[in-house]
Amino acid sequence: MTTQVERMPVAGLCALAVAGFVTILTEALPAGLLRQIGVSLGVSEAMAGQWISIYALGSLLAAIPLTAATRSWRRRPLLLGAIIGFAIANLITALTASFIVAMTARFVGGVSAGLLWALLAGYTVRMAPPGLAGRAMAIAMAGTPLALSIGIPAGTFIGNLAGWRLTFGLLSVIALLLAGQSRRCRISPASLKRNALPWPRSLWFRAYARCWR
């Protein structure tokens, strides 16, 4: 048992957890800062709320098509690309004075989220040593509840205290630091002979994917 625990790639799994944390926080943080965003960009709170909608739309439209298009690609470069997408999207969001540019950046962030969620579970399982996939998933998915319970309240507090642009700038910095740690996300030797994640066979997946042919 001790040997198995020592073999667990904790650093890499924590990097995936942080990626999930950034994904959820990027999506939901605007909900607590709508008034500040609206005043800064000259739009109503209702229009500012479309930041969340456009992000979700990017995730919805990207997840399955990108999974299908990249299923034979190496996982780590895709993971790095998704993380860099967050860094760019959040940086543009923090700097722009244009609502349209911000909406475009949010859509790009949503596409990155769709790609990351498509990768996360399969990548985690392939990082885990044999028999430890469940523990690995528990670590890698810890970022989601942490973002919802701690990240969003803390981000809203910082945004109200120091400005919403600072919070998105910080998210961009976290994503850039995370990109440097992506090298720790190594596939377990036991799964190296699998070059691609298996193509899902569920009925709903095939029905959805048929829309993109």
- What are the 10-residue block averages of pLDDT along the chain, 213 residues in total? 58 89 94 94 94 93 80 81 93 95 95 89 82 87 93 94 95 91 60 45 43 44
The two structure tokens encoding residue 123: 């990548």
Residue range 11-23, pLDDT digits in tens: 888 888 999 999 9
Neighbours of 145 (CB within 10 A): 13
Residue 8: strand, helix, or coil: coil
Structure confidence by residue, pLDDT tens digits, 187-196: 554 544 444 4
Alpha helices, H only, 29-163: 34-41, 45-48, 50-69, 75-95, 99-127, 133-140, 143-146, 152-162
pTM reported for the whole predicted model = 0.80
Q: Which residue has the tokens 């969003």?
A: 152
Task: Measure the CA–CA gap between 10 and 32, rounded to whole angstroms.
Answer: 32
